[in-house]
Amino acid sequence: MPQPLIRLVGVLIAALPLQVQTAVALFTVPWIMRGPELVGREPGNVRWPPDGQWIHVSWLPPGESWRENPRPYRVRAVPGAAPERLTVRPADSVAPLRADGITSRDRQWRVVSVRGDLFLAALPQGTIRRLTETPGPQEVDPSFDATGTRVFFRRDQNLFAFKDYGFVRPDSWADEYRRILDLFEKTLPRR
């Protein structure tokens, strides 16, 4: 064996105990108890939008304090992709795609309530149409009728039907509502 190679092997063997001591010194109970600070908190609120190109999650990366709230991230749906943190504006713009909602029978539409307003997502394309924009009362519990042409929802303990949801501008939504509370009350048992 050549002389320089023997010296190199000797130095590596001599340094091995130092490496082991350093690793053992780091492997302590306080170090183990750091948990999420070392590897990050597990992702939550995992959503796969209809376009299928991104996976959206709420996540707290490694090194962040466990006291922090998870932040919105997205990851391209390809192997080895790195998470990208979303700022407030992009996170708000994809909120209707990330929200749980009711899907139409033909699987073409999903209606969701986000921050009290109704949104309609076209599932194949992943496009979003805002149906309502109300400053006060919140529209909640949206669902489709059997034909898929109307969206029912609740606002201020009243039920409403929203027809022709595909052709509505946000500034004209009030004209498109038809109150169905009378019909609903007729179906309730008398007390």
149 and 104 housed in the same domain? yes
- Position 11: which residue type? V
**Measured between alpha carbons, how far is 151 from 104 in angstroms, rounded to an integer?**
10
135 and 180 housed in the same domain? yes
Q: What is the pLDDT of residue 135?
A: 79
pLDDT value at 10 more than 60: no
Q: What is the pLDDT of residue 91?
A: 63
Residue 4 located in a structural domain: no
Domain endpoint, select from 52, 70, 92: 92
Residue 116 located in a structural domain: yes
For residues 82-116, b (16+ Cβ closer than 10 Å) or e, as one string?
eeeebeeeebeebbbbbbebeebeeeebbbbbbee
Q: Which residues, at least 6 apart from 179, have a Cβ–Cβ distance to it below 8 Å?
A: 158, 159, 160
119 and 177 housed in the same domain? yes
Domain endpoint, select from 66, 92, 118: 92
Lowest model confidence (mean pLDDT) among 57-71, 81-95, 117-131:
81-95
- The total number of structural domains in the chain stands at 2
Q: What is the pLDDT of residue 174?
A: 47
Whether the model pTM is above 0.75: no
| pLDDT tens for each residue of 135-183 | 778 888 898 888 877 888 888 877 777 776 543 333 444 444 444 445 5
Residue 164 located in a structural domain: yes
59 and 106 housed in the same domain? no
- Parent domain of 45: 39-92
CB 70 within 8 A of CB 58: yes
170 and 133 housed in the same domain? yes
88 and 104 housed in the same domain? no
Residue 53 located in a structural domain: yes
